[in-house]
Amino acid sequence: MRIADRTSMPTRDRIERNTQLFLSSAALKVGDKYATIRTMLTDIFNSNYQYYGYRRLYAMLGNEGLRLSEKAVRRVIVEEQLVVSRNRRRRYSSYCGEIGPAPDNLIARDFKAEQPNQKWLTDITEFLLPAGKVWLSPVVDCFDGTVVSWSLSTHPDAELVNTMLDNAVKR
């Protein structure tokens, strides 16, 4: 038989009859080897508010005593369309773009002063505590590095900076 004849024949005619019978009977015997895992994964996924991804689902199957490869779990998850519908919470960012023109750089990285109260520097720093987030706003004198004034707040807003500046000016 020439190559041209073989390529023009249908695929089922090119495969031996006993090979076709073996493949069809083997496929019927095996069935779905992940059937129990499919039901377990969907039950675990739905009982946890459809919030668990493949890593947690894989760990939960391990806790149940099932030993299975991670790739197999991921394959079943894709086939069952178990998709987490919730997004992760975004980290808070107060940046809302350039509101106005940037102020001139009057300090020009010269952090030394000849006299006290000649140059003051300030910044806002976030601290993560067990009770929640806290923002600190200090005023530092460039002459000797002492803290002239400071204020704490649970929100990084204008009130934090205004109270800090008012206390510094009163001093």
Domain contains 105: no
Please tell me whether residues 75 and 7 are part of one structural domain: yes
Q: How many domains does the chain have?
A: 2
Domain contains 55: yes
Closest among 43, 41, 63 to 54, alpha carbons compared? 41
Please tell me whether residues 11 and 75 are part of one structural domain: yes
Least confident stretch, 3-7, 23-27, 110-114: 3-7
The pTM of the full predicted model, rounded to 2 decimals, is 0.45
Q: Which two tokens stand for residue 125?
A: 């720093």
Residue 108 has pLDDT above 80, yes or no: yes
Residue 159 has pLDDT above 60, yes or no: yes
Full residue range of the structural domain in which residue 126 is found: 120-170
Q: Label residue 102 by pLDDT band (50, 70, 90).
A: confident
* Burial environment of residue 45 by CB neighbours within 10 A (0 to 12, 13 to 18, 19 or more): buried
